[in-house]
Amino acid sequence: MPNDRLKLPQVFSISRLPKIIFGEGEFKQLASEIAAVGNNILIVTGSRSFIDMPQWEELQSDLFNLNISWSMVQIKGEPNPTIIDQTIARHKDSGLDAVVGIGGGSPLDAAKAIAGLLPSGHSIMDYLEGVGRGVTYTGPGLPFIAVPTTAGTGSEMTKNAVISSLSEKFKKSFRDDQLTATLAIIDPDLLQRCPRDQMIANAMDAFTQLLEAYTSPRQNPVTDALALSGITYFLKGFSHQKEGDLAGLAHLAYSSMISGICLAQTGLGAVHGLASPLGASFPIPHGVACGTLLAAVTETNINALQTRQPDSYALSRYEIVGQLLPNDEGLHPLENLIQTIWHWTEILQLPKLSQYGLTEANIDDIVVASGGNSMKTNPILLTHQELESILRIRM
């Protein structure tokens, strides 16, 4: 075991986390948890997936029995400033006690932003990093309850709401500790109707977040333990023999939750650094962007570290993850990690970026736009040319 993992850093911090209820069938607790905070709520969900589940009928019955009033907003696609501001304007004077987000990363991010802004009625554009008006968020927001129906983004554990605009070509965060959910209910049963292609994309996103958190320069002993736990359970749910076999829903739900906890503490890396401007400029799902980039970024990071920073802590971290993977050929753990992720990319048929419109003419703009927070916590500063090469490999 590399010695760097035994060195306790002088300073680290762990930001606020939600109360967590995890387990199959635990969705049944949602109505009583809502009743503990109020009797008038806004439910934010996706276009169809949750409302087609039997759990939606059960929730309506439970809310009725507890005399809880509710209204609903459905988020189609990724949330944009217009839908957030329109929802705030429509519900500001409704006397809401809480906001409940049920769905994938997009409705959860939307619910997080709406909960944070409803008491003040302010525009989301006051607070979006890099493109907003630079107003300091002071809160308070309404209580926010998060219930994921996918396993990938970990949004239920984070303090940032990601808001996109394809017309303005941005994908930015509204971020504050006060936006963190008061409660997150993670019920693997809610994953059963998630479309397979979405499950695959989300699984790759969760693994990316765990790997980037584990190799982040902001890692600490707490996130190390969590990230390795998340990776271990991910590999139990993401079959070694048939990488497309995603039968381990509880394992995937757990690893996704842990990935959200870790990224909230450590930041991410170059995969997410590139995925953000790609998602802002092209209609590429976030999980797909992360999954299709992961092998190329990981290989580039390892090669750059071996060449320019051979004593880096991150190489030992990549090696540890490589040791957790099946290795029938007896490869060095670093090579095993690289080859395994490339194998996943191939067997899962992760799409090329050109399928979503990326061309050679766009590459420089994407690289220039990639220098956000995630790049700052990549284990090594990649050159403009290295980032261009990653995009070309996956174009």
Per-residue pLDDT at 3: 45
Q: Token pair 């189609």 is at which residue? A: 76
The pLDDT tens digits for 62-75 are 999 999 999 999 99
Q: What is the CATH number of the domain that holds 171?
A: 3.40.50.1970
Q: Are residues 174 and 240 in the same domain?
A: no
Total structural domains in the chain? 2
Is 4 within a domain? no
Per-residue pLDDT at 242: 65
Burial class (CB in 10 A: 0-12, 13-18, 19+), 125: middle
Output the six-digit token pair for 175. 């971020």
213 residue type, one letter: A
Q: Are residues 41 and 62 in the same domain?
A: yes
Is 13 within a domain? no
pTM of structure: 0.91
Q: What is the CATH number of the domain that holds 346?
A: 1.20.1090.10
Is 92 within a domain? yes
69: DSSP letter: E
Q: Are residues 316 and 172 in the same domain?
A: no
Query: Of 163, 191, 219, at which residue does a domain stop?
Result: 191
Structural contact between residues 214 and 298, judged by C-beta atoms closer than 8 angstroms: no
Those residues with Cβ within 8 angstroms of residue 183's Cβ, 6 or more apart along the chain or in another chain: 18, 19, 20, 21, 33, 143, 145, 146
* Blockwise average pLDDT, block size 10, the chain, 395 residues: 53 88 97 96 90 94 97 92 96 95 94 96 93 90 96 91 87 92 97 88 94 95 95 87 76 95 92 92 91 97 97 96 92 96 92 95 94 87 96 95
The pLDDT tens digits for 283-297 are 998 899 999 999 999
Q: 61-75: b or e for each residue (b if 16 or more CB lie within 10 Å)?
A: ebbeeeebebeebbb
Per-residue pLDDT at 10: 66
CA distance readout (Å), 52 to 55, 149, 156, 193, 288: 8, 12, 21, 9, 24
Helix (H, G, I), strand (E, B) or coil at 93: coil
Q: Are residues 207 and 178 in the same domain?
A: no
Calpha distance 171→298 (Å, rounded): 23
Q: Are residues 75 and 169 in the same domain?
A: yes
Output the six-digit token pair for 62. 């439970």
Per-residue pLDDT at 1: 41
For 216-285, give the DSSP string.
STT--HHHHHHHHHHHHHHHHHS-SS-TT----HHHHHHHHHHHHHHHHHH---HHHHHHHHHHHHS---
User: Which domain range does residue 333 map to?
Assistant: 197-393
Calpha distance 202→347 (Å, rounded): 16
Per-residue pLDDT at 238: 87
Q: Are residues 187 and 216 in the same domain?
A: no
Helix (H, G, I), strand (E, B) or coil at 3: helix
Per-residue pLDDT at 8: 61
Q: Are residues 163 and 71 in the same domain?
A: yes
